[in-house]
């Protein structure tokens, strides 16, 4: 897929590429980053209601218990330990690689 918009995020050593699909009201994007530790994680999210982490709708990629990369959704409601939970938008597809992950979601 070709992405219409690309943002380099040098302070995070990461990249965000995205495109809007008006025919089916989807946003497709890929977030590329390298975890800071060998068994670390990477995350990208949007806070549609305020500034800060509480309220963020996030997707986090990490290695599961079998060592395979996976992507999970998190509605961050407090600064307590994270619990996997539904986000405000539908995630149609998601996949993760060793150093990057991508996911597709319905806007809104």
Q: What is the pLDDT of residues 94-107, one digit of tens each?
A: 888 765 555 544 44
Distance set, CA 52 to CA 11, 21, 73, 77, 100 (Å): 18, 28, 18, 11, 24
Q: Which of these, 102, 103, 36, 39, lies nearest to 68 by C-alpha position?
A: 39
pTM score, whole prediction: 0.83
Specify the pLDDT at position 69.
Answer: 84
Q: Say if residues 94 and 102 touch (Cβ distance below 8 Å).
A: yes
Q: What is the pLDDT of residues 51-106, one digit of tens each?
A: 999 999 999 988 889 988 888 999 999 998 999 999 988 888 888 876 555 554 44
5 has pLDDT over 70: yes
Sheet holding 100-106, edge to edge: 5-9, 14-21, 26-33, 100-106, 91-96
């Amino acid at each position: 897929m070709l992405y219409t918009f690309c943002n380099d995020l040098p302070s995070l050593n990461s990249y965000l590429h995205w495109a809007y699909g008006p025919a089916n009201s989807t946003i497709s994007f890929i977030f590329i980053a390298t975890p800071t530790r060998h068994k670390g994680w990477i995350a990208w999210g949007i806070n549609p209601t305020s500034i800060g982490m509480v309220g963020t709708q996030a997707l986090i990629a990490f290695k599961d218990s079998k060592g395979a990369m996976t992507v999970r959704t998190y509605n961050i409601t407090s600064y307590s330990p994270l619990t996997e939970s539904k986000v405000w938008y539908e995630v149609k597809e998601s996949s993760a690689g060793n150093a990057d992950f991508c996911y597709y979601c319905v806007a809104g």
